[in-house]
Structure 1
Amino acid sequence: MAEIISMPQLSDTMKVGTVIKWNKKVGDKVSEGDILAEIETDKATQDFEIDVSGILLFIGVKEGETTCVNDILAIIGNEGEDISHIISKLQSKKEKQEKIEFGLKEDKKIFISPVAKKMAKKIGIPINDIKGSGEYGRIIKRDIEFYQKKNLKEEEHHNTVIHSSIRKKIAEHLTHSKFSAPHYYLFSEINADKLIEFRKNLNNKLSLEEKISLNDIIIKAVAQSLIKHPDMNVSWNDERIIIHSHIHIGVAVAIKDGLIVPVIKNVDQKSLLKISKEIKDKILRSKSKKIQPEEIENSTFTVSNLGMYGIEFFTSIINIPNTSILSVGSIMKRPVVINDKIEIGNVMKITLSCDHRIIDGVKGSEYIHSLINFLEDPITILF
């Protein structure tokens, strides 16, 4: 008996999913445990594993298309099984939905060619506003083109890209963060001479695959500073302050669709080399959309580093429920005063964004002071 496979809810906040790739085609045999498709959610791209066996008889969502959770994704059944009655019901449901989308009345029949109908839907033109020039008033392709030129002239000068599920979720999350948490910012400057030397000495002892980045050292220093200031490792909710017993650091990573924040858990309990390997792995899988939802959840503090792009300093939006995020700029050569003498030194600027509901200026400043001490004498993060 044929079984309808619906778009699964692969994360707790997922409302729609986009099929990135089908691993099977109609007519293929599928078995329980097979990866049927790759689906993009609001958080990541995940493999969709089926729990039934049979023949893939129907695909309801093409690659690149998006549909709602619980909408039909595919039909699996026995070889040669007649599923025409199921498809007929689906088409009827789809036609009714299209009538709603285009604002049509049930008692008004609109004649339109298939090509024109497809164009109108893609562009978003309400076809009941168009007068057809075809036989018996039928709407044809040139009517859609004329309507578009007449009413949407500005569209000719712009390209548009449909928001991905991840991009929409990023927008919602950052908007909520910015306007629910009252931000303030602490700016500081670090003498990075010893930081550079520390990394150089470490990497001289490591293989090419093991090389440590400055960001790895910064993340370890952030965790060590949180040990000294546990009142910074907190979250806010409407009833209480949550003081975390674990230190999970989110690492902001740029991907094609925006930004994702994989989480390195229990950073304070891991060696610098282990932290570095884990960051490399999660950055690689984030950019290839293979990171799992549970790997981007439950951070207690976030680090965003744009130094590799030559950005001197910047501010970041807090990644709630975190109450702080550290923004790290590029290391620049600058005149510095050392022992009352002006010398050329390496300077790195950092910004700490804080949620003023829970972290006041003194508390944030004390944390920054400890972080600077670790970064200006980085060998201390190993103890």
Structure 2
Amino acid sequence: MPIAIKMPALSPTMEEGTLAKWLVKVGDSVSAGDIMAEIETDKATMEFEAVDEGVIAHIQVEEGAEGVAVGTVIATLAEEGEDAGSVAPIGSDDAAPAPTPAATESSSAPAPTPAPTPAPAPSPSPAPAASGDRIVASPLARRIAEQEGVDLASVKGSGPNGRIVKADLEGAKLGATAPAAAPSAATPAPAATAPAEAQDFGIPHEVEKLSGMRKTIARRLTESKQQIPHIYLTVDIRLDALLKLRSELNAALEPQGVKLSVNDLMIKALGKSLEAVPACNVQFAGDSLLRFKRADVSVAVSIPNGLITPIISDAGNKAMSKISKEMKDLASRAKEGKLAPEEYQGGTASLSNMGMFGISQFSAVINPPQAMIMAIGAGDKRPFVIDDTLQIASVMSATGSFDHRAIDGADGAQLMKTFKEMIEAPLGLVA
């Protein structure tokens, strides 16, 4: 019996992906564990392994295809002993089981919906084409069409065999919908916060399609600002002692090929501060709090398509030389899109440093489901009162953003005070 090979969910938040490259072709034999394809998620490019043995009978989604929904059949595998040439391609609509209403409501990934039958029946769902042919569309495309009232019969599919995918609906005009039935109580109302329609005002411009990563960033940060009550706390911190210690450590570590950055020391300081103030090393979970027993610091790294936050686990107890090596490796692979999900998913708090751009102070947006993020500004020479006298010192501003549902202002202030003390008396970082 042929086996359907489906687009996998390579991360908990993945709803769709790009089939970047096939590493097998029709007629190839595969075994469990063989690498079959490279798939681009919203964060990285990952390898897709076979879990069954057999021969590739059909490839239904060509490499380079974007917006392939999780659960879509991308290839058909003939089992050992079957004649691959006589095996018919498995359609994703035939292979996907119909979900229960509970599963459809609770799943974060797009849930497949039952395919409409050719027989006409009054329904608010998109109607079949006038010719009576079954409309081939991805589950995600069907859900979007149903929510926005788009008649799938009027949409031309760009996927394999004319399959309608999400991207085809983005250009569909809502005015070209089929006549809708009278609204009922069960029909969901349009979102009150729908984005305003873009207008070019006659100005010459180019249209750049959003990458999967940029869409994810837009969605998550919008959710963060809408759903998380942020509180911001800022402290000014003298850097002279930290810069002196960094210079001495780099001189000692030079034979090992290690060069510490200021950011490496900030990661260590935040990790130790979270351990010292455990009330801030938490996560809001509805009617409860998650209290973490170690500090895993997510570090914001800018990459060509957006932003990613690789994680330094147990940062408070890790040697700074190890933090430095791990951070360089993670940042390098992040820019190549080669991070594994466990290297950027998770973390108990985040750190974002924009000092290298000359930004003196900023307030960062919390990365849900985390409850705090530390924003580091540039260190520069400023007038500063030291021992009741006005002097010149290297000073930076650090701003903590806290989820006020999980962290009280006093606890956030204690974390900022502890972080400041560790930077200004940095010998504790090497203890």
Fold conserved between structures, TM > 0.5: yes
The alignment partner of 1:362 has SS state of helix
1:211, distance to aligned residue in structure 2 (A): 1.0
Counterpart position of 1:66: 67
Q: 2:56–2:75: 8 Å Cα contact kept in structure 1?
A: yes
Which residue, out of 249, 265, 289, partners 1:202? 249
1:324 to 372, 383, 404: 372
Q: Does 1:367 align with 2:415?
A: yes
CA distance in 1, matches of 2:269, 2:152: 62
Q: 1:95 to 1:167 in 2, by over 3 A?
A: farther
1:295 aligns with 2:296: no
Q: What SS is found at the alignment partner of 1:210?
A: coil
Change (3 A) 1:193 1:6: same
Q: Is the 8 A contact 2:309 2:344 kept in 1?
A: yes
Q: Match for 1:82: what amino acid?
A: S
Do structure 1's residue 169 and structure 2's residue 216 form an aligned pair? yes
- Residue matched to 1:215: 263
Maintained 8 Å contact 2:380/2:394: yes
Contact 1:11 1:43 in 2 (8 A): no
Residues 298-350 of structure 1 deviation map (CA, whole Å, 9 limit, x = unaligned): 31111111112221111111122322110001111223333444443211111
> Does the 8 Å contact 2:272/2:317 carry over to 1?
no
Task: Give the structure 2 partner of residue 6 of structure 1.
Answer: 6
Residue 353 of structure 1: how far off its partner (Å):
0.8
Residues of 2 paired with 1:80 and 1:227: CA distance? 58
Aligned letter for 1:162? K
Compared CA separation, residues 85 and 304, structure 1 to 2 (3 A): closer
Closer/same/farther in 2, CA of residues 371 and 155 from structure 1, 3 Å limit: same
TM-score of the superposition, structure 2-length normalised?
0.72
User: What is the deviation of 1:218?
Assistant: 0.7
Contact 2:4/2:90 (8 A) holds in 1 = no
Give the Å deviation of 1:278.
1.7
Moved more, 295-304 or 159-168: 159-168
**What's the secondary structure of 2:385's corresponding residue?**
strand
Distance 1:242 1:51, change over 3 A: closer
Contact 1:249 1:263 in 2 (8 A): yes
Residue 267 of structure 1: CA displacement?
1.6
Pair 1:97-2:144 in alignment = no
Amino acid at match of 2:32: E
Alpha carbons of structure 1 residues 123 and 186: separation in structure 2 relative to 1, 3 Å? closer
Which of 296, 317, 323 is 1:269 aligned to?
317
Deviations 1:135-181 (A, max 9, x none): xxxxxxxxxxxxxxxxx997994322333333222222222222222
Change (3 A) 1:280 1:57: same
> How has the CA–CA distance of structure 1 residues 12 and 209 changed in structure 2, closer, same or farther, with 3 Å as cutoff?
same
RMSD, matched Cα: 3.5
Counterpart amino acid of residue 210 in structure 1: V
Q: Which has the higher contact order (CA 8 A, sep 6+)?
A: 1
Contact 1:43–1:166 (Cα < 8 Å) also in 2: yes
Q: Deviation string for 1:256-314 (max 9, x for gaps)?
A: 33222222211222111112222222222222111122222331111111112221111
Structure 1 residue 41, shift from structure 2 partner: 2.3
Name the counterpart of 1:111.
none
Structure 2 CA distance for partners of 1:352 and 1:161, relative to 1, 3 Å: same
Q: 1:214 to 1:165 in 2, by over 3 A?
A: same
Shift of 1:55: 3.9
Q: Could you tell me whether the CA contact under 8 Å between 2:76 and 2:90 is conserved in 1?
A: no
Unaligned runs of 5+ in 2: 95-114, 117-132, 155-160, 177-198
Fraction of identical pairs, as percent: 38
Find the aligned partners of 1:105 and 1:217 in 2 and give their Cα distance: 59
Aligned to 1:133: none
- Please state how far the C-alpha of 1:89 moved relative to its aligned partner: 9.6
More helix by share: 1
Matches within 5 A, 1:1-383: 2-62=2-62, 63-77=64-78, 81-83=85-87, 86=90, 96-97=135-136, 103=151, 124=171, 157-207=204-254, 209-383=257-431
Contact 2:44-2:337 at 8 Å conserved across structures: yes
Instruction: Give the secondary structure class of the aligned counterpart of 1:205.
Output: helix
Match of 1:139 in 2: none
Specify the SS of the correspondent of 2:406.
Answer: coil
Deviation readout 1:3-35 (Å, 9 max, x if unpaired)? 331111222232212112222344444333221
Residue 361 of structure 1 deviates from its aligned partner by: 2.5
Quick one: structure 1 residues 170 and 381, their matched pair in 2 at CA, closer, same or farther if it must change by over 3 Å? same
Relative to structure 1, the CA distance from residue 157 to residue 122 in structure 2 (aligned partners, 3 Å threshold; closer, same or farther) is farther
Q: 1:230 to 1:123 in 2, by over 3 A?
A: closer
Q: Gaps (5+ residues) in structure 1?
A: 107-113, 130-151
* Number of residue pairs the alignment of both structures matches: 351
Scaled by the length of structure 1, what TM-score is found? Answer: 0.80
Q: Is the 8 A contact 1:316 1:326 kept in 2?
A: yes
Q: Does the residue aligned with 2:417 lie in a helix, a strand or coil?
A: helix
